[in-house]
Structure 1
């Protein structure tokens, strides 16, 4: 095999962008999937190709739609010859705090399609390429303690989809191990705003009261874990659910915040 190709969903900005930069720096070709951020995706592709000498191509697709997933995989395979790695980074999230009954029918369907069904679509479509090479890497994203199927107040749709995804990831790992394909899940901490694209060195100059290690998490924290999991030397790592939280109780954050407010 030559240079390996990684498809990263939602890669035009945020954590996906930081992951694309790290993988390109490590010599991987990168498929930059985007939905609405066309200019950002095209600019990133040009930057990565110029800086690291890899092939980096932006490809549009709303991953919550099966038809878009089919076109995305077909386009990527035609341009790169194969798909070796999928980083399922993209996933809709409703920021507004809502109880289960307050979710609209459309919101629930979009959350499940974008966070669970999309992973099934893209993985199923990519498996033939990975099996043909007897090598592949699948990375999904969950949340703190997802493997225990915890309740997450005000996040019922997101939590339900990601909990199902945790089981999906472990099932895929067991089914595809004999084909040289690994599947692992990364569970980010509370990484928000500009920190999604920033680095560890920058974070060490900042403070975060809710994170036990004392600093905010960054996109680089996650990208470094991704880079290891997709490497040749990570072939013994599969079916793992890995927290990258700085020790923070992400699910209980709202209770900590309310407690601090009440003390003021």
Structure 2
């Protein structure tokens, strides 16, 4: 399957300094058409327009709340309509990137906060994958790449605490089980586990905290969004056809296991 004839769907892809936007741009640079899905409708459309203009590939922006099944299905229908109309090629890759974190200690974590963090990170990955997977099965080819975190592997310790680590750990189990289930149908499923990344996802951070994070990284810096984007696009390529059920660590050596 030639990725130049496929669309990549990226969730959480409109934040100006986010991994999702960097990943959408990297897919486009490699010749994929892109679908920019984000909670911010206007920003999603702006990013899609910018990508289409810069890279000359089909690009489509649409709003989605990944925690809401009706919203996810609406986005899927909109993408399907673009494919039917010939404005987008069929979907070959799905990058589940939308996520939120929380630095709140466990005993200060309300049930509402727990549910929100789990819903955006874990349930959102489930809902979006469930919507776009049938099309991949129909064509017997697909690439699903899920965003986990080093926090799932080491039990937090970077910024996110118990709810975030739990949600990202759920994604690792989801990834492995789904990879086993879909392998015979030409679909790979992998996870990416970044360490600290220079984005705006962290809230309430301080220069001292940022410095302490870098101090623990053997490579001496946080990851850039492009560092993470490159892994998503590689795992969606033909070159990665024999990689499935894997977890790719991108942490600069801060967690080696």
Question: Shared fold by TM > 0.5?
Answer: yes
TM-score of the pair, normalised by structure 2? 0.85
How far residue 40 of structure 1 moved from its aligned partner, in angstroms, is 2.9
How far residue 239 of structure 1 moved from its aligned partner, in angstroms, is 0.4
Partner of 2:91: 83
Equivalent of 2:188 in 182, 192, 207: 182
Partner of 1:34: 38
Greater displacement, 135-144 / 210-219: 210-219
Once the two structures are superposed, the pairs formed by residues 220-235 of structure 1 within 5 Å of their partners are 220-235=226-241
Tell me, in whole angstroms, the C-alpha distance in 1 between the residues paired with 2:106 and 2:156. Answer: 11
Equivalent of 2:71 in 58, 68, 90: 68
Task: Look at both structures and tell me which one has the larger radius of gyration over its CA atoms.
Answer: 1
Partner of 1:48: 51
TM-score of the pair, normalised by structure 1? 0.83
SS at match of 1:87: strand
SS at match of 1:193: coil
Can you list the C-alpha shifts for 1:94-117, whole angstroms capped at 9, x where unaligned? 2xx322221122111111111111
CA-based RMSD: 2.2
Partner of 1:161: 167
Once the two structures are superposed, the pairs formed by residues 1-264 of structure 1 within 5 Å of their partners are 3-13=5-15, 14-36=18-40, 38-81=41-84, 82-94=90-102, 97-144=103-150, 146=152, 150-152=154-156, 155-193=161-199, 208-249=214-255
1:173 and 1:183 in contact (8 A); partners too: yes
Can you list the C-alpha shifts for 1:158-193, whole angstroms capped at 9, x where unaligned? 111111110110011110000000000001110133
SS at match of 1:222: helix
How far residue 65 of structure 1 moved from its aligned partner, in angstroms, is 1.1
Tell me, in whole angstroms, the C-alpha distance in 2 between the residues paired with 1:68 and 1:40. Answer: 17
SS at match of 2:150: coil
How far residue 25 of structure 1 moved from its aligned partner, in angstroms, is 0.7
SS at match of 2:181: helix
How far residue 221 of structure 1 moved from its aligned partner, in angstroms, is 0.5
**Once superposed, which parts of structure 1, at least 4 consecutive aligned residues long, lie more than 6 Å away?**
none
How far residue 209 of structure 1 moved from its aligned partner, in angstroms, is 3.1
After superposition, the Cα gap between the structure-2 partners of 1:137 and 1:213, relative to the gap in structure 1 and judged at 3 Å, is: same
Tell me, in whole angstroms, the C-alpha distance in 2 between the residues paired with 1:29 and 1:145. Answer: 31
**How many residue pairs end up in the alignment?**
235
2:223 and 2:252 in contact (8 A); partners too: yes
2:193 and 2:248 in contact (8 A); partners too: yes
Tell me, in whole angstroms, the C-alpha distance in 2 between the residues paired with 1:184 and 1:90. Answer: 16
